[in-house]
Amino acid sequence: MDAPSLLPNLQAKPRILIVEDEPILALTLEEYLTSAGFEVAAVVGRLPAALAAIETIALDAAVLDANLAGVSAAPAAAALTARGVPFIVVSGYLPEQQVSAFSAGARLQKPCRPDDLVRALHDIVPNRP
């Protein structure tokens, strides 16, 4: 049996990784994105789980909280960048307060409207046939 591909399937719904440490917010994001036509590939709340998901799951994009229970999500941003996966940083921090690893991603300020997040994801997700 062949190993699963880490490359996104361009025929399917866009696969999104949610990296958010607040469970209620993560669940809400998952519901919004699913109803907007995205497939949520995984929801993780801690850095080790985020890094594992980035390494093993085919992704089209990610939504990334900058701070995961007091730990910077910068290594996850760097891993996404290294894999060529676009991401959106959704954070209460101002851009100038965030480390440079987040500069490769789009940014939305918390709290953000769900429609703004969906629009931003459509802007960064690779075009579909």
Q: Residue 31: what pLDDT?
A: 95
Which tokens belong to 47?
Answer: 């850095």
Sign of the four-CA dihedral 93, 97, 43, 40? positive
Q: What percent of the chain has pLDDT over 70?
A: 81
Residue 109, pLDDT above cutoff 70:
yes
Considering the chain, what is the average pLDDT of its residues?
Answer: 85
For residues 129 and 30, which has the higher predicted lDDT (pLDDT)?
30
pTM of the model: 0.85
Domains of the chain: 15-124 (3.40.50.2300)
Residue 54 phi, psi (nearest 5): -60, -35
Residue 10, pLDDT above cutoff 50:
yes
pLDDT in tens, 29-79: 999 999 999 999 999 999 999 999 999 999 999 999 989 999 999 999 999
If we measure between CA atoms, which residue out of 113, 61, 115, 64 comes closest to residue 84?
Answer: 61
10/2 Cα distance (integer angstroms): 19
If we measure between CA atoms, which residue out of 7, 77, 69, 17 comes closest to residue 42?
Answer: 17
Q: Residue 12: what pLDDT?
A: 76
